[in-house]
Chains A and B, each alone.
Chain A
Amino acid sequence: MVTTTSPARQRFETGGLWLLLTAGAVVMFFPIYWMFATAIRPRDEIFSGAVNLLPTGWVWGNFTAALSRMPFLDWTWNSLIIAIAAVVITVSLNLLCGYAFAKFRFAGRDILFIGVLSALMIPIQVIIVPLFLVVADLGLLNSYWGVILPRAAEAFGIFMVRQFMVSIPDELLEAARLDGASELTIFLKVVLPLSKPIIAVLIIFTFMWRWNDFVLPLVILTDQEMYTVQLGLNLLKGQYNTEWTDIMAIALLSLAPMLVIFVFFQRQLIQGIAGTGLK
């Protein structure tokens, strides 16, 4: 905003605002810090009753101890398989479908697009019971496919791709068609290279959603050998509800991929979230 107030008063205002925002940020960051501080401090310190904001010592062994007690690596393996397969399938399908909606004119297109949009209005929580029954009828309970397939089509991604690809010039596609390129070749060789920014956003979001998923795995994967990281963390909280060192260590490890994404791909994350609000 452009201001009409005097410089001194403005500086005072800005300073106050900054202090307020910084104090807020300290409060917001505290839970993350406290998870780390709990995971790393000596175990007996937790129950001492004293308020030690800083750990008296750093016990890295807490992490290896927690790992040796919990099958966290198995959970991670399951989560990775599910999330990576979901990324490959969902992103490919999003791109194909969004491209068709953006760059082709065909009978029934608008109806089909409204159909896709309406899928946005049916949250998985609402259909979790029949979805469970469908997955059971397909014989996919306790299998990776049982959690991958139901969420493989993602309306939000299709919508994002369509919005992005509308701005690809038709002349480019026409030129390739005149050169005799097949539609698939055009998609792979012309459209995809132009779509790298949106592909990055889709990969990051799909990975994040599938990594963080809870309710669908909860009803589909009942066998503990199939547990994902989130299911495992929930199990820990229920069964070892006094072992806070272990729980916080595992919680921190479960966040590791998200923290990496957060640090390196924040621009794409913000772009994707802002995309829900704009356009």
Chain B
Amino acid sequence: MADLSMTYPKERSETTTSRKSGWWSSYRSRLTPYLFIAPNLLLFSIFVFFPLLYAAYISVHQWSLIDAPEFNGVQNYTRLLSDGQFWQSLTNTVIYSAATVPTSLILGLFLAIGLNRKLAARTLLRSIYFLPVVVSSVATAVIAAWLFNDNYGIINALLKQAGVGPVAWLSSPRWALPSIILTTLWVRIGFCMVVYLAALQSISPSYYEAAVIDGATRPQQFRFVTWPLLRPTTFLLLILNVIYSFQVFDLIYVMTGGGPGFSTTMIVQYIYQAAFASSEMGYASAMGMVLFVLILLFTLIQWRINRRTEQFV
């Protein structure tokens, strides 16, 4: 995903088309790539690009699905500004992202560096850290809800043996978000580890050999060889993880439903409620547009910063 530069295939020699006689075959061979792309383009248009435009259209209307949409200008957007719950959901999303993104990157990097060394049972250890990545977010949420269960969950049982608790993990506004953050880390660490491992393995050993000749200690090797070479990967993981965090829905919907109260409601959950519980399609779409712009902005800012500080290969 990082490499946006296109590698151009060689210009196709004219002999190919002229050999096959007639305008039809020439026409047809020029049509081929468009035909190959057409089905995807059609599906993208109907199910991605049109919905985005449609959302922009609905977002300036009041619409409960029962009557016809009624134009109301920027009212949905001005309402957003004064909607405490929207700001709460945005704040929750920012806290959630700030807690999950750097942590999973750091732990993922640590694991990757550790498991890139020759260690006993290295493959098994890698597999275990990676396993949560294939577990669906619904199953993850269900398992986590059981572990964090107030009365019969194993976490509280173990805490009780240690003389602590019980903690109302998922039923108190104070602990619900931390529980969700821990659960998210369970999934994301392995993901970051795999991406970092692949990047580490693509670093040529000769860099380290040269660093050792220059007398670099191991922390210095990390500081001056590994870290700079991993920068594109770190940057990419940062973007991906922030986008994942801003669009989080499944895990929290199943684990807490956004509660207790409003304590774990994220933006997408609030959009979902506005659209499918309150039937406020216009308001929900306006929030969707804001979320889209936030994700877009973050990606663009990151691209800019990255391009300024280094050459991206």
Contact = CB atoms under 8 A, between A and B. Distances in A.
Interface of A: 1-5, 14, 17-18, 20-22, 24-25, 28-29, 31-32, 34-35, 38, 46-47, 49-51, 93-94, 96-97, 99-106, 109-110, 112-113, 115-117, 119-123, 125-134, 149-153, 155-156, 158-159, 163, 166, 170, 174, 177-178, 180, 183, 187, 208, 211-212, 214-215, 218-219, 230, 233-234, 236-237, 244, 247-248, 251, 254-255, 258-259, 261-262, 266, 269-270, 273-274, 276-279
Interface string B5-20: 0111111110010011
Contact of A125 (B50, B149, B218, B249): B249
Nearest to B43: A153
Nearest to A157: B40
Given A120-B1, A130-B285, A274-B198, A262 B134 contact: yes
B133 interface: yes
A212 B140 CA distance: 11
Given A104-B9, A104-B32, A127-B52, A3 B218 contact: yes
A158 B243 CA distance: 20
Given A110-B6, A237-B142, A183 B198 contact: no
Interface stretch (B71-79, B173-181, B205-213, B304-312): B205-213
Contacts of B124: 25
Contacts of A34: 143, 146-147, 154
Given A132-B275, A174-B16, A233-B138, A266 B143 contact: no
Contact of B142 (A3, A233, A276): A233
Given A153-B44, A180-B20, 17 more contacts: A4-B216, A17-B114, A17-B119, A32-B143, A112-B37, A128-B288, A132-B276, A156-B1, A158-B40, A236-B142, A237-B145, A244-B152, A247-B146, A258-B134, A274-B194, A276-B236, A277-B199
A41 to B, nearest CB: 12
A150 B253 CA distance: 22
Interface in B209-255: 209, 211-212, 215-218, 221-222, 226, 233, 236-237, 240, 243, 247, 249-250, 253-254
Contacts of B186: 28, 31
Contact of A126 (B138, B139, B142, B291): B291
Contact of A129 (B130, B143, B190, B285): B285
B144 A31 contact: yes
A277 B36 contact: no
B60 interface: no
A5 B152 contact: no
B65 to A, nearest CB: 8
Nearest to B154: A34
A266 B30 contact: no
Most buried by A among B7, B37, B46, B190: B37
B247 to A, nearest CB: 4
B115 interface: yes
Contacts of B240: 276
Contacts of A211: 136
B129 interface: yes
A81 B154 CA distance: 37
Interface string B258-278: 000000000010011001100
A137 B167 CA distance: 47
B101 interface: no
Contact of A2 (B134, B144, B205, B253): B205
Contacts of A151: 47
